[in-house]
Structure 1
């Protein structure tokens, strides 16, 4: 099933709604181990993304993803802007021309993960968004390769992202401001992994459904 600009816009709109609804929770999670601004920053960034896409709808999927990434880089402070911006910019670079089929969307998301890893120099187990996004990409790749419909593949990815998010709780942070806390960072859910799980959940709720 092809994923086009309307589908991607619906995905990002759903993500923006989820971030807005979870803004205070994301901020509370960040207050425990970070700067207490993740919810506010992501809400501001995604509100700007939706406004930009509404004002000037991009011509194709790659243009939409590029505009999303550029908006997040310019509007979101802290580490979230560069990391989420890189995610979407790398997706744009891998998208090619026209709509994305299931395998192309999976490849684009994997490219986004690779960009986040490179930008943040993070590895699985560092207590970052990679701990949710990595399992999501693995699950998505496996399901697509097995021939499952995109909606089912993304549902599996969302489950994997949620499990990855939850797995950050006992971890000791090795990246970002949370790493300054050392052992005291254990016992807290990572806010970046939490917002990433919302991103994949939004994809599962909107893509491959028509």
Structure 2
């Protein structure tokens, strides 16, 4: 069996990301309402809906081309901090992905580049209660899988699991970045919406690789 992923996987990822964001829009809004502006779910839903519309009209033929289109679309349609941060993540991922196909090392490199881009753009670190708390562990988990020579699909599954654990771990944290940081100690007790959406989107990536859709 071929253990690499190509353009078809990225296209399927975009499709599943749009679906999972739409399905969890209310949850993301409620998380954001607790410690932010309350619009994270709506903003991401609008952005990924625009992504699927753009991809339906375009015919990108490499992983990098698809990821770049996702990046530019999110930057132009998603409001607040999420647009630039997600856009940067996908743009850095596009540069790392190249023309593909991607093995586990390629997946790990893509996620590492995305995480580094978000850290650089948002000036956030692990423990600041941001999307970095989901994305950085995801990249590290994928790297560990790659180092033992397992498949790209296994790397994405490990990344998704790590992102979900990382997002949940933000609940007791006190926010140090973004609007939530204005709340100080009151930001504790809530899962960070950006970390949660990151986990959802990375689970969509793993599902796309596995050829399945989760409810």
TM bin, normalised by shorter chain, reads over 0.9
- Structure-2 separation of matches of 1:128 and 1:98: 30
* 2:163 equivalent to 1:171: no
In structure 1, the partner of 2:152 is 150
What residue number does 1:132 align with?
Answer: 134
Deviations 1:54-104 (A, max 9, x none): 111212111111111000000000000000000000011112234222211
- Inter-partner Cα distance in structure 2 for 1:151 and 1:104: 11
Who is 2:56 aligned against? 54
| Counterpart in the other structure of 2:16 | 14
Scaled by the length of structure 2, what TM-score is found?
0.94
1:191 is matched with 193
Contact in 2 for aligned 1:149/1:208 (Cα 8 Å): no
Deviation track 1:86-128 (CA, whole Å, cap 9, x = no partner) reads: 0000011112234222211210111011000000000000000
C-alpha distance in 1 between matches for 2:44 and 2:122: 17
TM-score (normalizing by structure 1): 0.96
Match of 1:162 in 2: 164
Q: Residue 123 of structure 2 aligns with which residue?
A: 121
8 Å Cα contact 2:108/2:155 also seen in 1? no
Q: Distance in 2 between matches of 1:126 and 1:22?
A: 23
Once the 2 structures are TM-superposed, how far is the Cα of residue 209 of structure 1 from its aligned partner? Answer: 4.8
Alpha-carbon contact 1:3-1:208 (below 8 Å) kept: no
Contact 2:104 2:142 in 1 (8 A): no
Change in Cα spacing, 1:100 to 1:88, as seen in structure 2 (3 Å) is: same
1:109 equivalent to 2:121? Answer no
Aligned equivalent of 2:206: 204
- Once the two structures are TM-superposed, the CA of residue 133 in structure 1 deviates from its matched residue by 0.6
- Cα deviation for residue 148 of structure 1 reads 1.8
Aligned residues: 210
Q: 1:81 and 2:83 equivalent? A: yes
Deviation above 3 Å: which 4+ runs of structure 1?
none
